[in-house]
Structure formats: C-alpha cells, structure tokens
Structure 1
C-alpha cells in the first residue's frame, strides 16, 4: 500500500505554517490551539500529538522563524567578511548587509510580525525565546561588524549592538507598517518609490553613525 501524502512530517509542517500565520496575525495570546487545528482541518488531539501544546507550538514557530532569519544573516555576514579592508569598501559592504536583511523582512513579513508581537510581550510565559534565539544572533552580528570596522579603521566609537538593533527595529517596522503619507494614507513597501526612500534613509542612518564616530 502506498504512503498517504498527509503523513506525519507533512502534517507537522502544515500545522507550523498555520500557527506562524495566526500567531503573526493575531498574536500568541489571541490564538487558540483550536483555531490552529481548524486552519489545517485537524482536531486538537492530532495537533498536540504532532507538535505538543500551545507553548511548545509557539517555541517551534519562533525557532522556525529564527532559523530562516539566521540563514540570511549568516550568509550576509559571510559576504561582509569578504569585503576589502578600505573604509569605502567596508561601508559599501555594510550597506549590502543592511539591504540583505531588509529584503528578508520584506520577503518574510510573518517573521517580522512574530518578532514585533514578541516585543509587545506576546507569549511572555515562554521566556527562553530571547535567550536561545535573539540574543546570540545579535551578539554574533555585532561581533562580526565590529571586526570589519576595526579592520578598516573606522567607527571606533560606534555602539555596534545599538546600531544592529536600530537596523532591526526600522526594517521590521517599515515592512509591517510602511509610512503615512501627507493625505493620511498608509503606504507600504510595495510602493517602490517609498521603498527607495526608506532604503536611502536607512543607509544614511548607518553611514551617518559610522562617519560621526570615525
């Protein structure tokens, strides 16, 4: 007898996809296990069998989001490390890193939404998310950026950790909310002119910090 297409792994993936979407849209506190089960056409017992209870499911969703984020960040850091050692090459490479992260936020808006909700204390009873995921990745980025800045002899006084957080905060927020135009309309990143303005402004912030502290 051939295997059914809806086997264990595929069910787990469907559950995680639905949970990621609902946690991003509604938040952890407002999303029930029943809502997730209904979204994939399963009962609560089946969801629990594959992924555990709601806290375990939330951990799995955040781990999945983190791994997607980390893959892009590590690849961008590898590119950053290969840049030339001049100040000009280092600034350009750092802006390339910023662009790579911004593209990730725009291509994976549910990841940014999950983290923004986390910043608003969603799922506060699941306490290890920052310790396991966010904290180590920020530290890795800050260490790598500091190394290339020191190699180029620029940005000696820059608070690289705070600069990293500034990039994360602004990229996530713009990807989710866009801007409000003079007429009071919300304009998002799909508007290419607005996206170009935002990217140019983010670049100016990064280079301005580097130049001020060099």
Structure 2
C-alpha cells in the first residue's frame, strides 16, 4: 500500500468507527461512511471493502487497542489489591475510548447479528486473560468471570447512559466528578466481591 492508501484507509475506518458507535452497524450505510470520510462509495470499497469488511476492521482495531491496555495492566497484577488498579485502568480506557464500549453496547442489543464469531475471537480471549490473572490472587470461592462481567457491564452502561441528577440531566464519563464517584463505587464493589476489606478500596 502507498502512504496515501494507508491514510485513506485510516480515514475510512475512523469515520466508520464514529458511525457504528453512534448508530450501530444496522443503522449505518456504506454511503454514510463514505460521506463522513469525504470520499465516494467506490473509493471506500477499494480501500476497505463492503460494509461487513468495514465493521470487522473497526472491531479488530477496537480489540487491538483494548488488548494492548489489558495485557499491560494484567501483567502488573501481583495481588488481590492489584485487581482494583486493573479496574481503574479499564475505567480509564472506557473514558478515553468511548467508541469501544459503544460498539459493544450496540452488539449486545443484537446489532450486526449476521456477523458471527466476534465474541469468540475478541471477547473470550480477553476475558480468559483477565480471569487467569485474577484466579492467581483471589480465593477459589470467588466467581471471577461474574466479577469481570460486572465491571464490563457497569462501565459500558455508565459510559452509554451515565446517571441522572436531580434535574434529570445525564452525567457520564466526561464529567470528572461523576467519573470519580463511579470509580469509587466500582472499587468498593469489586473489593467486596473478591473479599478485600472496605478500606482497601480507598
């Protein structure tokens, strides 16, 4: 590929990521992606392929970004308290890359149902990597998978919906005060789930 081809491909995937995260796969057309990228449909097809190819490219890039963060964070878990730092890192990831939770939230709602095996290829390996690290530092009676899923469900839900204040206004990951409140809550929740004393949650 030439340098300009790389740039065009990145621009297309960036546009597709924004649209798939906002509208879902089923709610996004290739023409919409082309317009958002400032290109025509034929150029998009030349560089990336059809809509399904685009979606897979978007999900692959999201997965690689998430995997890089989790691989580094998991390697630093040395005890049960280290899992709270891992929770912090995951929440930071969701705040810095809101498109990734949004993509998965759409998929949880049966978006792109005709694109199979993404969970097998992307979700399961990350779950197993984190679970293996957690099992080394917590007691056998902890349901590690459900603790991990609880963090994922809550983080993605908070990122997508936030919380309502007394006036009915939503506040989420982009509100520093609510993000700090959510982080503290998740630390307490995970600490209790893995048997750490409350003071360990900070």
TM-score normalized with structure 2 length: 0.92
> Where do 1:1-214 residues align within 5 Å?
7-80=4-77, 83=78, 90-149=79-138, 155-211=139-195
Question: Match of 1:29, SS?
Answer: coil
TM-score normalized with structure 1 length: 0.87
**Greater mean alpha carbon deviation, residues 103-112 or residues 172-181:** 172-181
**Greater mean alpha carbon deviation, residues 129-138 or residues 94-103:** 129-138
Q: Tell which structure's C-alpha radius of gyration is larger.
A: 1
Distance 1:192 1:51 in 2: 37
Task: Using the TM superposition, give the Cα deviation of residue 60 of structure 1 relative to its aligned residue in structure 2, in angstroms.
Answer: 0.6
Contact 2:73 2:86 in 1 (8 A): yes
Contact 2:22 2:102 in 1 (8 A): yes
1:86 paired residue number = none
- Structure 1 segments of 4 or more deviating over 4 A? none
Task: Using the TM superposition, give the Cα deviation of residue 191 of structure 1 relative to its aligned residue in structure 2, in angstroms.
Answer: 2.6
What is the number of residues matched between the two proteins?
195
Contact 2:80 2:137 in 1 (8 A): no
Task: Using the TM superposition, give the Cα deviation of residue 148 of structure 1 relative to its aligned residue in structure 2, in angstroms.
Answer: 2.5
Task: Using the TM superposition, give the Cα deviation of residue 44 of structure 1 relative to its aligned residue in structure 2, in angstroms.
Answer: 1.1
**Long gaps (5+) in structure 2:** 197-202
1:78-135: CA deviation from partner (whole Å, max 9, x where unpaired):
111xx3xxxxxx2321100000000000000011100111111111100021111111
CA RMSD in angstroms comes to 1.5
Task: Using the TM superposition, give the Cα deviation of residue 193 of structure 1 relative to its aligned residue in structure 2, in angstroms.
Answer: 2.3
Contact 2:80 2:134 in 1 (8 A): no
**Long gaps (5+) in structure 1:** 84-89, 150-154
Task: Using the TM superposition, give the Cα deviation of residue 64 of structure 1 relative to its aligned residue in structure 2, in angstroms.
Answer: 0.5
